[in-house]
Structures are given as structure tokens and as C-alpha cells.
Structure 1
Amino acid sequence: MKPDSRYWQHCLDALDVSPFFAALDLPVKQEILELFTYEKASKRDTRISEGDNQAFYLVVSGRAKVSVYHPETGREHIMSLLGQGDCYDVIPLLDGEPREAVLTALDDIEYLTTPLSTARKWLFDHPEFNKTFLPYLGEQMSEMAAQIEDLALYDTESRLAHLILRHITSNAPVHGLKLINDLSQETLAAMIGSVRVVVGRNFQKWKEEGILHDGKGPWSVHNLQALIDKTGRNIEI
């Protein structure tokens, strides 16, 4: 992207709220932005990463999901959600080995992309970037560890409650309940290793118990402590 692009400032604003780039000085942000290409995708578009697992992405606006699929049944597991300022994929920046995952737009989305080789070279040429890169990588690894713990140790109701609380308690500016509170029950189920009917049953139960707000449009948490109790863990808000 060139500084005279009509999208230059718009994309620079996305870097300003990204936990991956926000702490960098303006000249450094401008340098990295020149390495990216600006792209758009429509809601439900899977072509963001289609045929290209050697690229690095940054969301400018909208949301995307990162999914893996069973090769025979087609069953989906959503590994993470990406919002404004979020990046994918961070781990291959270290080992050069891309993950087999599919990026799907959940909204009409704008994003930046650059080859992994370009991003890796820039990273290694600027070791001062580690002050930002390492904490972001740690956050991603913690999220993966939480998913593994949930799937191995907790039932569906606990996993669903914990998913919601992780979005409530996140401090990163690009995260929050707004990332998930208008998603379908089928999508939420794919995030916790369950199915739509089970998530729907839990939602109905929580509405009857006054935990979730029972109104039209996006749902909201009405009784936070009761939701915490559903996780079966000691969690402080």
C-alpha cells in the first residue's frame, strides 16, 4: 500500500488499535503498512485464505472466524474470532510453517495481507518489535490453552459460560462481547466443540434463570455472577 492510497489513513487507524502494532512509533507503523495490500471480502466469503496459507492478515474492519474442518465429516471447530486490529497468523512468523485453517468473513470485511516471508523478514529486521510481538503471541497461546482445557475437562454448559466470560473480561481493545453476541447458536457451538441444539437448550435455560437478557436482537448478560458460577471455576471480574 502506498501513502497516497485513499485507504491509507483508514488502515493506519486500524494499526493504532491493534495490540500487535499500537505501541509502535508512527514512522514504524507507516513502514509496515507499505508492505501490506488492501483487500475486501463479503460476509460468508471463505476466499480470504483460499489457496494461500503463506500469508499474514490484519483485520481493518468487520469480523472473521478462523476454522478447521474434519476432512471426512466436514465438522467445523472455530479456533478464534478476529476483529478490528487482530492479526492472523502469528505463530508461522516464528517457524515458517503455516497452519491449515480457513478464514471466513462474518461481516463484510476489510483486511490487509502480505506474504509470510515479507512479514517474517520485517520482524527479524526490527528486533525492537519483540516488545509488542511477544505479549501478543502469549495472548494467542493462552487462548489456545484455554480451549484445550475446556474441551478436556468441562461440560458444554461450563464451556459456553467460559467462552462468554473470556470475551467480557478481555482487556484488548479489539475484543469484547460485541464480537460474539450476535453470532448464531451454530457458530457459538462450533467455538466450544458442541452442536446448535445443545447451545440453544443452555441459552433457553439461562434466560429462564435470568442470566441472559431475553429480548429482541443481540443477547446480553443480565446476571454476571450466576454466569461465573456456571463455569465451575473461581473467576474474578
Structure 2
Amino acid sequence: MKQRPLKSSSSAVEFDPAVFLASAGLGRRIIKVKVGEALFSQGNAAEYVFYLQTGRAKLTVVSGSGKEATITLLGPGDFVGEESVAAVAGLHMATAVAITACTALKISRAEMLRVMHEEHAFSDMFLAFLVSRSMRIQADLVDQLFNSSEKRLARILLLMAEFGQPGEPEKLIPRISQETLADMIGTTRSRVSFFMNRFRKLGFIEYNGRIHVNKSLLNVILHDQLFEHNAVGAALFPGQPEKSSLTKRQSKAKMPA
């Protein structure tokens, strides 16, 4: 009796998440989204997950009274619409809108669930993304609760320029309105305008239609006091300088009982 030849393990094509996310196929297709167009809207059925290949987008929510708020900004390598893979399919809780021309991979819920179950390399990568997104949301919450509006604005600009991420930062960030920045940090457009002008005078940013972020902007969020050694010699905040949190604690400790 002739024995059947064994299949070589090398003949099996190894799954590559990067190739999967870069190409169209069964249950997924590449779409082009123009500036201002939505990938999906709040209240739509959550049937697709989107993987942003190029471009920038923002995630916004609208309250029952019609007030809109920007939750976060999205860039290449981000998934959005991940609620589509929940145990029970529901509705999108936010709207994803392109702020630059975008290219995205639109993946159906069924295909997303299939590849998550069958391909461990993909599920590991997707889980790592979700954990990273969760940590980012926690950091945003801490930032909103404890930091000043100046620090919140500096942090948003640095995140948009991708400082702290692998590779060289972009520095020149996508066009974004002061109203959107104000929504994201919980202040008014006039305050954003004031601090943007202050950052520009201090040399932290350059602004001529688009914002060019310099690494020196990190000083705003790394230091708890005014920039006494800054070569410009100008205070970041107007009026009397606030005491740092350490100075405040020392002052309280010296107060009589």
C-alpha cells in the first residue's frame, strides 16, 4: 500500500496581521474618506470595525440637547468602532469624522469575529490596542480632573504630534480648529487662543495656518512651576505665579494646629 505524502508545514501560509490590515478581502474592503465625511455616525448600527491606514479623524458625541464634544483624535494604526464586536451588536455611541483625507479598512463584524477567534496573532494585537486605548482614556480622565487647562492643551498638542511614540514625531499637526481643542480640554475658545499665543511667544509652537509643535512644549507638562530658566524670560501664566503642589503641601505642614 502506498503511503500518502505528508504535507509540508512550510506550505501553510502564516497569517500576518499587517498584511490582513493592509489589503481588501472577504468581509473587508478599503475605503477613502474625504475631509468632513463620517466613517460612521452616532446611533448607526454597529456592524463594522474600521482600521485607519492613513489620515486623521476625530471621535465626537452629541448630547440630547445638541451639544457636541470631541472625545479623542485618531491616527494611522487606530481601530475605531470596536463596539461592533460586542457580544450583542448595538449602536455606535459616537461619530467618527475625518479631519484629513483618510484611507481605512472597513471590516464586517462577522469577519472581525472570525479572525479574532482563528488567528491568535491578530487577537493578541487587537487586545494590545484595546488595553492601550483604555490606558489612554484613563490618562485623559486624570488630565481632565487634575491638570490645568494650559497643561491639558499642551498634552493634546504633543499627542497629536506623536511625541513619546516610536519614530520621529510629526511636529506639523493636522489642521484643527480652536473650537475643537477647546471641546477636548473643557475650556473656551478664547482661553485656547490666549494659551496658543503664549506658547508661540515662548517658542513652544509655531503657527501659520498649521501648528508646528516643538519638543520644548514638553516643559509645560513636565514642570510644576513657572519656567524660571527659560531663555525668553516670560512667565507662562499671567499674573501672580501659583505655588507648586509641593510648596502648597509644605505651607500646610507649617500652619499651626
The more displaced of 145-154 and 81-90 is 81-90
1:56 maps to: 49
1:169 maps to: 163
CA distance in structure 1 between the aligned counterparts of 2:121 and 2:158, rounded to whole angstroms: 33
Change (3 A) 1:170 1:119: farther
CA displacement at 1:200 relative to structure 2: 0.8
Q: Which of 142, 145, 158 is equivalent to 2:151?
A: 158
2:198 maps to: 205
CA deviation map 1:75-134 (0-9, x unaligned): 322222222332113355354455411011112322221222331232122234333122
Give 1 or 2 for the bigger CA radius of gyration.
2
Q: TM-score, normalised by structure 2?
A: 0.67
* Partners of 1:62 and 1:83 within 8 A in 2: yes
CA distance in structure 1 between the aligned counterparts of 2:213 and 2:131, rounded to whole angstroms: 29
Q: TM-score, normalised by structure 1?
A: 0.72
CA distance in structure 2 between the aligned counterparts of 1:189 and 1:95, rounded to whole angstroms: 35
CA distance in structure 1 between the aligned counterparts of 2:86 and 2:131, rounded to whole angstroms: 13
- Equivalent residue runs for 1:73-152 within 5 Å: 74-90=66-82, 92-96=84-88, 98-152=91-145
Change (3 A) 1:54 1:63: same
CA distance in structure 1 between the aligned counterparts of 2:168 and 2:215, rounded to whole angstroms: 23
- Equivalent residue runs for 1:59-70 within 5 Å: 59-70=52-63
- Equivalent residue runs for 1:7-18 within 5 Å: none
CA deviation map 1:177-196 (0-9, x unaligned): 44x45322122222222232
Higher relative contact order, structure no. (Cα contacts within 8 Å, ≥ 6 residues apart): 1
CA distance in structure 1 between the aligned counterparts of 2:119 and 2:187, rounded to whole angstroms: 42
For 1:150, the aligned partner's letter is D
Change (3 A) 1:39 1:32: closer
- Equivalent residue runs for 1:38-49 within 5 Å: 38-46=30-38, 48-49=39-40
Change (3 A) 1:95 1:86: same
What value does the CA root-mean-square deviation take over the aligned residues? 3.2
CA deviation map 1:47-81 (0-9, x unaligned): x2133432101123322111112220x33222222
CA distance in structure 2 between the aligned counterparts of 1:182 and 1:211, rounded to whole angstroms: 17
Provide the identity percentage.
20
CA distance in structure 2 between the aligned counterparts of 1:216 and 1:104, rounded to whole angstroms: 21
CA distance in structure 1 between the aligned counterparts of 2:131 and 2:92, rounded to whole angstroms: 17
CA displacement at 1:169 relative to structure 2: 2.9
**When the two structures are aligned, how many residues end up with a matched partner?**
208
CA deviation map 1:156-191 (0-9, x unaligned): 11211222233443425798544x453221222222
For 1:54, the aligned partner's letter is E
